[in-house]
Structure 1
Amino acid sequence: MTQKKYDLIVIGSGPAGFSAATRAIDFKKSVCIVEANHLGGAGIMNGALTSKAMWELSKDFDIASSVSRGYRASGIIANYKQVQKTIVQAAKQKQLQMLSQIETFSEATDTHGSLCLKYGWARFIDSHTIEIKRKDGIEQIKGDNIIIATGSRPREIPDIEIDQERIIDSEGIMNLKEFPERMIIIGSGIIGCEYATIFSNYKQTEVHLLDRQHKVIPYEDDDVSEFVSKSLENNGVIIHHTANLRTIRKRSDCLEVVLDYQDGHSTVIEVDVAVVAVGRIPNLDNMGLENVNIQTTERGYLDINDVCATDNFQSCNIFAAGDVSGHAQLYSVGELQGRFIVEALYGNQDYPLDYSNMSTLMFFKPEVAAVGLNEKACKSKGIPYKVATYSNSLINRAVAMRAMDGFVKIIVSDDGENRILGMRAAGPQASTLITSIAYQITQKNTLKDIRKNVHPHPSISEGVQECLRVFEGKSIYKPQAFPDLIKLKSWKPEIQG
């Protein structure tokens, strides 16, 4: 069997794999990308891009349907098939961009390397040989180095069969033929709350959200969790707190969902569709990892070192990036790791990997963004802190936009240094606000370093400026006048509570 040889083989074309492949051609390397399903992985299809396209469309529909802004639009309807068509167009556009780049670099030149895309299931034969299985046959290729970037898939619930018709996961959302009249979403993490937001925005579906704990997004501080929960309920979502799923019974005309609550009572509700959103697990099945002596962790992920190698970097040529690595399952993390591996391999590594300040965006109503430590993390680490919260309802731009739900919340160290530790923001342009504070955290900046910055008016970012001024008692609007809108408190390890 003829075996073509490459400098780098990348298994998976999601954000981790594609970023690694395209960075490698900068070093004039020959690269083969092996993809089992959709080009772009969950970063494009059935994941980040499609769900965010759906969120954007639902947000636009919600705004257009509003009757509180001085206008009333008539005859607005949402057709699920047309919504699907628009979402698929967005995904296809991105896939075509990726294919265009692959074709552009199909041949190596004096200035760049080459890219090759092969579809099929990849399996290790040895540390330099990959078998690609397709319907029409088997091919083997060889590589000096190999990156595992196979991503993840939705986690299943024991004894609950996902049929992708009535009981679906995030990969079955696009299988729906119309907006269901009644839906339950099982799981109150980011994915569950995002889909609850999307379907409730369209006002055609009665949305139930199953929350096993007392608050949605339980890893965030209570004020953030309560804000998200209240926003969902105001949007019509029915949240079942402290409830566990016992079973789902399929009836001819509905699904019977049995919920058991912590106080001992049970409830049965009828829905048309159940969405399982209880996290994701890595795609590492049937890859022949045993042939290269790679074992997974107890949680099923790959154990990587500080350069993403699956063993000692000096003796290992197999790396892992993205969701399979066990780090935060974020598009940005996968992309960062993919690029970093290539730079570590080919000699242009500028800085070590740092996962501590990865920004997170949560597409709710309104959107929520996070970076750095929250109060829970500070307390668990014993870090004394001060925290200021400033409501969007005091920010002129938010008032003008009639989008006053939201806030800016900034945490600084209470150790005399006033280092910026973290931020949470909710409301319009939260994703943009978070970037400025993420930079300040990375640079280990303090209040003194950034208080001279002047923000343009009117802008949402003035909320960051005013929130920072709260720490020094210099904000334009004072907590004494608006105790519910501006808050300042502190915590130290010796003052527990």
Structure 2
Amino acid sequence: IAKGNEVQTVTGKNILLATGSQPFRPAGIPFDGKRIFDSDSINQIGYLPKSIAITGSGIIAIEYAKIFNNLGADVTLIIRDHLPRNALMKIGLDRNVAATLVADLVQCGIKIIRGAQVKEFDVPKSDSVGGGLRSDVKILLEKRGGGALPKGSVTEIRCDTYLAAVGRKPNTGNLNLMSAGIKVDQYGGILVDNRLATTATCGSVYAAGDVVGRPFLASTGSAQGQAAVASMFSSEKLTSLLECDPNDAACIVDPLEKVGECFDPASLALNPFAFPIGIWSSPEAAYYGLSTQQANEMGYNNVGESIALYAECLRGRVFSPNGMLKLVFEKPAGKIVGVHICGDDACELIHYGMELVKGRRTIEDLNNSLFSAVTYHELYRIAARAALDDESARKRRAAVSIAVAQRIRSNKNSK
């Protein structure tokens, strides 16, 4: 361990590496911590920008876009994909939730430049930040993959501040892992087995959290830390989904049965029921389990989905009329396999949805449940009832709810 000029050697029977991650910094971007930031250094910004350009289309980019939008900044999102919702669907978001989030960005006045990437920066050398006038940062754009953008496209952006929010990478560069026989993947993440043990050739070395790679979440990192410590003092062998041969009938495992057993990156990536995802934007978004597309790809025979609009419950009509909750279920039994939410308190509401999926509850079970009045949890029963209703009944109920919500908003605006 090095601290200044002092070097100290620490020994132990078991060692846990948990050095976290850092923002990925693409080559060619002149990060300076004054005008050009990554998703960590932006937390130290000493002024409120009037305008900001953000590269990225994932969770971090959207969260910061809404933060600066709510602070009054003029926000521009630069997205490589031609369809912004596609990038969100790639990380597991349901298509309706992804479309709702993108629509909200546009409705809030956030400009989205699609199918483009940054080509060149012109950052003023002499600048006054945090007080006086500032010259604009000039950003030249090109099409995704390089080359000129189509005629009529935005080719230059001028802004106070630029933020690159294009993912994270493990903090392993200065650990000298090769000398200990510890292997890493192509992104620098430490390779571990399903007990979080590394490939160290000497001693008992484990790794947990962002340093082992995706999904880069505080929740999974904490669980990995606990699992690694438990593994240090246990000889129990764990069988992960990675070790199951899909061609061996005796080894076919229900992913729900493996939840909470293995927390290594491979097991988490293979198990769609391993953990919930929350996006702390405004509105919030969250999901657990499978989307309709994922359920079909996994071989579920007959997949259904039902949606409850926030406007269909009293609390939603007043506070968050544009939100939605979707249930994905397997027919004909109605077993719920996924829950997707966009709207107020989505990151809290998802945990009830997670228990529905883990408990193998059905649409009928949910329809027979009673929830306290004037709560968002009523949406679960409304969605279950929608799954049991015919198409015309669903449309009539949704139309009435939307009309009532619009009237409430109109009355608020007239006061």
Shift of 1:246: 1.4
**In the alignment, what sits opposite 1:229?**
102
| 1:428 alignment partner, one of 332, 339, 344 | 344
Q: CA deviation at 1:168?
A: 0.4
For 1:48, the equivalent position in structure 2 comes to none
Counting aligned pairs with the same residue, the percent is 25
Partners in 2 of 1:164 and 1:312 — Cα distance? 37
Residue from 3, 19, 27 that aligns with 1:150: 19
Q: For residues 190 and 167 of structure 2, what CA distance do their matches in structure 1 show?
A: 17
Distance 2:318 2:69 in 1: 25
Q: Which residue pairs with 1:443 in the alignment?
A: 359
Q: Which residue of 1 aligns with 2:409?
A: none
Give the AA of the match of 1:480.
K
Counterpart Cα distance in 2 of 1:385 and 1:248: 48
SS of alignment partner, residue 147 of structure 1: strand
Deviation digits for residues 70-112 of structure 1 (CA, Å, limit 9, x no counterpart)? xxxxxxxxxxxxxxxxxxxxxxxxxxxxxxxxxxxxxxxxxxx
Pairs within 5 Å for 1:64-75? none
1:414-456 deviation per Cα after TM superposition (whole angstroms, max 9, x unaligned): 3x34322111111111112100111222233333444432111
> Given the alignment of the two structures, is residue 333 of structure 1 paired with residue 214 of structure 2, yes or no?
no
**After the TM superposition, which segments of 4 or more aligned residues of structure 1 sit over 6 Å from their partners?**
none
- For 1:366, the equivalent position in structure 2 comes to 283
- Paired with 2:400 and 2:290, the residues of 1 have a C-alpha distance of 22
Q: What amino acid maps onto 2:380 in structure 1?
A: V
* Residue aligned with 2:40, SS: helix
Partner of 2:405: none
Over residues 349-394 of structure 1, what are the superposed CA-to-partner deviations in whole Å (9 max), with x where a residue is unaligned?
8961263331111122211111111133224333341111111011
| Aligned AA (1:255) | V
CA distance change for structure 1 residues 474 and 451 in 2, over 3 Å: closer, same or farther?
farther
RMSD after superposition:
2.6
Q: Could you tell me which residue of structure 2 aligns to residue 24 of structure 1? A: none
How far the C-alpha of 1:287 sits from its partner, in A, is 0.7
Cα deviation, 1:273-308, whole Å, max 9, x if unaligned, reads 100100000000121211211111123212221111
Matches within 5 A, 1:281-296: 281-296=169-184
Structure 2 counterpart of 1:343: 230
The structure 2 residue matched to 1:375, chosen from 261, 284, 292, is 292
Q: Which residue of 1 aligns with 2:393?
A: 478
- Counterpart-to-counterpart distance in 1, 2:63 and 2:157: 22
Separation in structure 1 between the aligned mates of residue 183 and residue 74 of structure 2, nearest angstrom = 44
Paired letter, 2:352: S
How far did 1:158 drift? 1.3
In structure 2, C-alpha distance between the alignment counterparts of 1:153 and 1:424, rounded to whole Å: 29
Alignment partners' CA distance in 2, 1:485 and 1:437: 26
Matched, 1:258 2:131: no
Equivalent of 1:309 in 180, 191, 197:
197
Separation in structure 1 between the aligned mates of residue 124 and residue 318 of structure 2, nearest angstrom: 49
| Partner of residue 353, structure 1 | 262
Residues 484 and 364 of structure 1, relative CA distance in 2, 3 Å threshold: farther
SS in 2 for 1:471: helix
Q: Counterpart of 2:52?
A: 183
2:385 pairs with 1:469: yes
Unaligned ranges ≥5, structure 1: 1-131, 487-497
Larger CA deviation: 340-349 vs 132-141:
340-349
Name the CA distance, whole Å, in 1 between partners of 2:136 and 2:380: 48
Give the alignment of 1:258-277 within 5 angstroms: 258-261=140-143, 264-265=150-151, 267-277=155-165
Give the Cα separation in 2 of the matches to 1:326 and 1:170: 17
- Structure 1 residues 312 and 260: alpha-carbon distance in aligned structure 2, compared to 1, 3 A threshold: closer
Match of 2:68, SS state, is helix
How many pairs are equivalent? 350
- The whole-number CA distance in structure 2 between the counterparts of 1:457 and 1:312 is 56
From the superposition, tell whether residues 484 and 419 of structure 1 become closer, same or farther in structure 2 (CA, over 3 Å).
Answer: same
Counterpart-to-counterpart distance in 1, 2:66 and 2:262: 34
Q: Is the 8 Å Cα contact of residues 479 and 485 (structure 1) preserved in structure 2?
A: no
The 1:482–1:258 alpha-carbon spacing in structure 2 relative to 1, beyond 3 Å, is farther
> Residue 210 of structure 1 corresponds to which residue in structure 2?
78
1:240 equivalent to 2:113? Answer: yes
Q: For 1:381-420, what aligned pairs fall within 5 Å after superposition?
A: 381-383=298-300, 384-401=302-319, 403-414=320-331, 416-420=332-336
User: Residue 375 of structure 1 aligns to which amino acid in structure 2?
Assistant: T
User: How far apart are the structure 2 equivalents of 1:229 and 1:250?
Assistant: 30
Tell me, yes or no, if the aligned pair for 1:420 and 1:445 is still in contact at 8 Å: yes
Segment of structure 1 superposing worse, 446-455 or 146-155: 446-455
In the alignment, is the contact (CA less than 8 A) between 1:197 and 1:364 conserved in 2?
yes
- Structure 1 position 316, deviation (Å): 6.4
Deviation, 1:312, is 9.5
Q: Structure 2: how far apart are the matches of 1:136 and 1:418?
A: 65
Cα distance between partner residues in 2 of 1:188 and 1:400: 30
**Equivalent position SS for 1:142:** coil
CA distance in 1, matches of 2:400, 2:341: 14
